[in-house]
Amino acid sequence: MRFDADLSDARMTVVLDIRHPFAYLALGPTIGFGKHNDLQLNWLPLSAQTLRPPSIPPSSDAAEDRSIRHKRNRAQMIAREIAVYAEAQGLLVEEPYRDGPAAAIELAWLWIRAAAPGALEAFLEEAFARYWAKQLDAGSIEHAAALVAHCGFDADRFVAWAEHEGPGAAAAVSRQLAEAGIFQTPALLVADQVFYGRQHLPMVGWLLGGRRGPGPI
Amino acid sequence: MEASDSRLSTTGHFTPVFARLRGEARLAVYIDLKSPYAYIAIEPTRAMARSIGVEIDWRPFTLDIPSYLGSAKLAKDGKTVESATRTNQQWSGVRYAYADARRYAALTGKTIRGTIKIWDSSLAGIAMLWAKRQGGFDAFVDTVYPPFWRRELDIDDLAVLERAISESDLDATGFRDWAEAEGRALHDRTNDEAFDAGVYGVPSYLVEDEMWFGREHLPRVAFILAGREGTPPDVANRRFGT
């Protein structure tokens, strides 16, 4: 079983942080993109930066720093963006501002990726859906093992791996992603380029298709 | 506007403030000369609007970059950073943004060189307002964006902007006085109104009661302008009308 990040061999690598709503919004379209283009995608987990909620406006008329107002405007826009596009995709995002550890689900992700790569996308869809419905503690090995079992795999073998080799393998993947300069998700790595965000899928498709015709702008 | 405001808010995620800011225009778009993302958004935005038959109400919005991305200035050699108040994370974001804008710009033959400092582009914004009063916003923008991003245009210099107005086949007579008085006041007022309403970056799009930041939302803007028929599209950097 191969647990390394496989960045050099893969035609296209997709890096997601389960805790970021933009990663959830990217999951379905990216799976669809892979299927449409007959690609075996290299899915990798990364605990990067999570989303911060907008600050609360001051109750008085006191002057407020412009940078704080800027951040609030931006955070409010991102919240609207998540709500509108989640609704369009039929996704439930119970609470966009999630934090906490995701190590357990990342271990399960890497284990399924190595043990049953053909089942990984179904596993990710289930994991993300449960997490964003607040039915999954991404830091809990018990929750991760239950999900592994739900997907039809041997949870005991996963737990044994997660307690021994797993953390080292996960740390190696994180290190490889850091060395590749990945600092946020969703990240799409293709043709020696990094793209942050699912809006780049047309460009990625154009690159993978041999740059035929006018590129997306 | 109040009557039409209650008709809007189709998604329930927006407030009437954006419809009020948009005013009578069906589509209002905010840009800033010093934003590479605004530069590369102009062409697809025009193509999208053309494909639907909608006029664009272009508006300048002068970004206050140091307030949210820290400040930085290159030394005279044009390569080393002379002074900066940016965090590593801010640097990563800025470097990625330039690289990202550059690869898309290259597809349409545009040059985006790294900037040497964070410009105060308010004078350029005032010049956009001047050009807009003469119906020459597009011509002016097409005159100033390419050389600015080749680092060939000093937008701190009023005389340079005066010349750009003339090169756009517009009348620059009186621009200098206007820029220092009414033009400055108009620019500052409209900038504050936009910021107070929630605009914070460029390109920003106002359509019906919605506000979107970034050209990746053009598919949604087009969907709304075309009457919201069919399945709402996802974000995408893509071409229109081809």
Q: Is the pLDDT of residue A66 over 90?
A: no
Domains delineated in chain B: 2-64+119-225 (3.40.30.10)
For A196, the closest of B96, B235, B242 (CB atoms) is B96
E-strand ranges in chain A read 12-16, 42-45, 187-190, 193-196
- Chain A closest-CA separation from residue B166 CA (Å): 30
- Judge: A88–B213 Cβ closer than 8 Å, yes or no: no
pLDDT at residue A163, rounded to an integer: 97
Over residues B7-35, mean pLDDT: 86
- Chain A closest-CA separation from residue B160 CA (Å): 30
For B237, the closest of A84, A89, A216 (CB atoms) is A216
- Judge: A201–B236 Cβ closer than 8 Å, yes or no: yes
Mutate to test the interface with B, among A188, A195, A199, A211 (most CBs of B within 10 A): A199
- Pair of tokens at residue B200: 């914070």
User: Which stretch of A113-117, B66-70, B224-228 has the lowest confidence by average pLDDT?
Assistant: B66-70
Helix (H) or strand (E) holding B68: helix B66-69
The total of other beta-carbon atoms located within 10 Å of residue A74's CB is 17
B194, HSE (Cβ side, Cα atoms, 13 Å) = 30
B242 CB neighbours in chain A (<8 A) are 214
Please give the residue of chain A at the shortest CA–CA distance from B205. A77
Residue B105: which residues within 8 A CB-CB, separation 6 or more?
A: B36, B39, B40, B111, B112, B149
Tell me, yes or no, if A125 comes closer than 8 A to chain B by beta carbon.
no
Q: State chain B's mean pLDDT as an integer.
A: 90
pLDDT at residue B6, rounded to an integer: 38
Q: Is the pLDDT of residue A54 over 90?
A: no
pLDDT at residue B92, rounded to an integer: 84
Contact B199, B142 (CB under 8 A): no
Q: State chain A's mean pLDDT as an integer.
A: 94
Q: Is the pLDDT of residue B69 over 80?
A: no
Over residues B28-53, mean pLDDT: 97
Quick: pLDDT tens for B192-228: 999 999 999 999 999 999 999 999 999 999 999 999 9
Tell me, yes or no, if A2 comes closer than 8 A to chain B by beta carbon.
no
- Judge: A80–B14 Cβ closer than 8 Å, yes or no: yes
- Judge: B238–A216 Cβ closer than 8 Å, yes or no: yes
User: Amino acid identity, residue B60?
Assistant: P
Closest CA to B27 of B206, B223, B195: B206
pLDDT at residue B74, rounded to an integer: 60
Residues in chain A: 217
- DSSP H helices in A98-184: 103-115, 120-132, 141-150, 155-163, 166-179
- Judge: A194–B96 Cβ closer than 8 Å, yes or no: yes
Residue B153: which residues within 8 A CB-CB, separation 6 or more?
A: B144, B147, B160, B164
Q: Is the pLDDT of residue A98 over 80?
A: yes
pLDDT at residue B193, rounded to an integer: 97
For B11, the closest of A65, A84, A181 (CB atoms) is A84
User: Which stretch of A2-11, A114-123, A130-139, A192-201 has the lowest confidence by average pLDDT?
Assistant: A2-11
Report which of residues B78 and B148 the model is more confident about: B148
- Judge: B100–A83 Cβ closer than 8 Å, yes or no: no
pLDDT at residue B8, rounded to an integer: 43
User: Which stretch of A7-11, A127-131, B70-74 has the lowest confidence by average pLDDT?
Assistant: B70-74
- Judge: A83–B237 Cβ closer than 8 Å, yes or no: no
Quick: pLDDT tens for A169-191: 999 999 999 999 999 999 999 98
Query: What are the strands of the beta sheet with B204-207, ordered from one edge?
Result: B56-60, B27-31, B204-207, B210-213
Q: In whole angstroms, give the CA distance from residue B144 to residue B140.
A: 6
A84 CB neighbours in chain B (<8 A) are 11, 13, 220, 232
Q: Is the pLDDT of residue A49 over 50?
A: yes
pLDDT at residue B185, rounded to an integer: 98
Over residues B136-161, mean pLDDT: 96
Percentage of chain B surpassing pLDDT 90?
77
pLDDT at residue A94, rounded to an integer: 87
Q: Is the pLDDT of residue B82 over 80?
A: no
Q: Is the pLDDT of residue B7 over 60?
A: no
pLDDT at residue B87, rounded to an integer: 78
Mutate to test the interface with A, among B200, B206, B223, B231 (most CBs of A within 10 A): B200
Domains delineated in chain A: 12-50+98-208 (3.40.30.10)
Q: In whole angstroms, give the CA distance from residue A177 to residue A175.
A: 5
Q: Is the pLDDT of residue A71 over 60?
A: yes
Tell me, yes or no, if A55 comes closer than 8 A to chain B by beta carbon.
no
In which band, very low, low, confident or very high, does the pLDDT at B77 lie, cut at 50, 70 and 90? low
pLDDT at residue B212, rounded to an integer: 98
- Judge: B234–A89 Cβ closer than 8 Å, yes or no: yes
Contact B195, B30 (CB under 8 A): no
Q: Is the pLDDT of residue A105 over 90?
A: yes
pLDDT at residue A156, rounded to an integer: 98
B77 CA to centre of own chain: 29
Percentage of chain B surpassing pLDDT 70?
86
Mutate to test the interface with B, among A52, A69, A73 (most CBs of B within 10 A): A73
B64 CB neighbours in chain A (<8 A) are 66, 70
Closest CA to B125 of B196, B71, B202: B202
Q: How many CB pairs under 8 A join A and B?
A: 92
Q: In whole angstroms, give the CA distance from residue A113 to residue A107.
A: 10
